[in-house]
Amino acid sequence: MKRKMKIKNKVKYQKIARIFQFRNLYSSINNLIFKKKISGKRETKTEEMIRRFRYNKSAVFGLILILLLVFCAIFANFIAPNDPTPSPPELENSLKPGSWSEEGLENYPLGTDMLGRCILSRILYGARISLTVGFVAVGIATLLGIALGVTAGYYGGWIDSILMRIVDIMFSFPGLLLAIVIVAVIGQGLDKAMIAIGIVYSPQMARIIRGSVLYVKETEYIEAQRAIGSSNWRIVIRHVLPNSLAPIIVYGTLMMASAILDAAALGFLGLGAQPPAPEWGAMLSESRFYIVSGAWWAATFPGIAIIFAVLGLNLLGDGLRDILDPRLKT
């Protein structure tokens, strides 16, 4: 009996696995473009990476979570059962439980908050905000990080020393505190929060990029580039940066998880996204006082959404690190 179950599970697993058979997709694209068939035995580097990724169960799980989130964010206006910010507020629906309760309203599966807004719809729209924050903040951090890291790593010397001391000083503030400080200067709001988080993460990115630039700089092909008279700019953009891409992707993914968490924290403190924006942290902050009157759902579900997003990105990032970072390859 037990064995039967095992076989059943195996079949199920294989079915799931088949969905992720990118390899077929890849080779068919390759056939289309290059009009030649990849020989059966030798696998390309990309294929090897995809194969390694598929065997990393937790990374695949993280990818599924993130794809789900992206799906929710893109199609929020189609999936969401209700308007996330109805105006005027439907106060007669205030703090109604979800579909698990008899008292719940139809069409409001996760219940409503104090202004009678559908929590599920707000969470779905909130995915847009959180993903945007993640992308934009990490984007800012990466751009600043590349500017600082490449300058420091490529030119070295006193420029390097000064830039790295600045980075050290920025590291001597806990991340969230530095973000709060920046918000104190440039003002509150979601856009400002994104900028603040981007700046806070840039030293970390700068260090990572500097490290990989230092490594790439010493390789022979860069020396060859110099020998044939390429300009510094050309070497950096055409050769150094592409070779530093792997750590940028890995740490960018992990950073996005913390960026989403920090943005939610700023929203919770009232320094990030402002109401009525359906931002997860702000939702938590608005509804936390109603737990005393028994409305637990309003504060619970936005937090679960944050956990899923952060967990997904963390798992994906860890998986990507195992695959892409050759220094950790054993």
Partner 1 sequence: MKWYIIKRLAMLAPVLIGVSIIAFSLIHLAPGDPARTMLGERATQEQLNEIREKYGLDEPLYVQYVIWLNDVLHGDLGRSITTHEQVSKEIFDRFPNTVELSIAAMLFAILIGGIAGVISASKQYSITDYTFMGIALFGISMPVFWLGIMLMMIFGVWLGWLPIGGRIDLLIPYQKITGFMVFDSIITGNLEALISVLRHLILPAIALGTIPMAMIARVTRSSMLEVLRQDFIRTERAKGLSERAVIYKHAVRNAMVPVVTVIGLNTGLLLAGAILTETVFSWPGLGRLVVEAVYERDYPLVVGSILIFAIIFVIVNLITDIFYTYIDPRIHYE
2 binds partner 1 (CB under 8 A): no
**Judged by CB, which is closer to partner 1: 62, or 198?**
62
From the list 69-77, 143-151, 241-249, 297-305, the region that binds partner 1 by CB under 8 A is 297-305
- Alpha helices in 151-244, H assignment, sequence order: 157-171, 175-186, 190-217, 220-227, 232-234, 241-243
**Judged by CB, which is closer to partner 1: 173, or 221?**
173
Least separation in angstroms between CB 237 and partner 1? 31
Residue 274 is given by DSSP the state P
Nearest one of 166, 174, 169 to 149, comparing CA atoms: 166
Nearest one of 206, 177, 204, 179 to 190, comparing CA atoms: 179
To the nearest 10°, report the CA torsion of 116, 121, 126, 129.
-110
Contact in structure between 105 and 118 (CB atoms under 8 Å): no
For residues 80 and 137, what is the distance between their CA atoms, to the nearest angstrom? Answer: 26
The SS3 assignment for 112 reads strand
- Alpha helices in 22-117, H assignment, sequence order: 22-34, 45-55, 57-74, 76-79
Contact in structure between 45 and 73 (CB atoms under 8 Å): no
**Judged by CB, which is closer to partner 1: 50, or 282?**
282
288 binds partner 1 (CB under 8 A): yes
268 binds partner 1 (CB under 8 A): yes
List the beta bridge partners of residue 118: 112
Selected from 180, 195, 196, 324, the binder of partner 1 by CB under 8 A is 180
Least separation in angstroms between CB 3 and partner 1? 21
307 binds partner 1 (CB under 8 A): yes
**Judged by CB, which is closer to partner 1: 50, or 183?**
183
Site string for partner 1, 118-157 (x = CB under 8 A): ----------------------------------------
Least separation in angstroms between CB 218 and partner 1? 23
Contacts (Cβ under 8 Å, ≥6 apart) of 264: 130, 272, 279, 280, 281, 284, 306
68 binds partner 1 (CB under 8 A): no
Six token digits for residue 110: 């996760």
For residues 297 and 113, what is the distance between their CA atoms, to the nearest angstrom? Answer: 8
**Judged by CB, which is closer to partner 1: 40, or 294?**
294
Residues 155-174 that bind partner 1 (CB under 8 A): 165-166, 168-169, 172-174
Selected from 98, 198, 281, 319, the binder of partner 1 by CB under 8 A is 281
For residues 85 and 270, what is the distance between their CA atoms, to the nearest angstrom? Answer: 18
Selected from 197, 306, 316, 324, the binder of partner 1 by CB under 8 A is 306
64 binds partner 1 (CB under 8 A): no
- In angstroms, how far is the first alpha carbon of the chain from the final one? 39
Selected from 50, 183, 236, 320, the binder of partner 1 by CB under 8 A is 183
190 binds partner 1 (CB under 8 A): no
For residues 126 and 84, what is the distance between their CA atoms, to the nearest angstrom? Answer: 9
**Judged by CB, which is closer to partner 1: 167, or 236?**
167
310 binds partner 1 (CB under 8 A): yes
Count of chain residues binding partner 1 (CB under 8 A): 40
Contact residues for partner 1 (CB under 8 A)? 165-166, 168-169, 172-177, 180-181, 183-185, 257, 261, 264-265, 268-271, 281, 284-285, 288, 291-292, 294, 296, 299-300, 302-303, 306-307, 310-311, 314
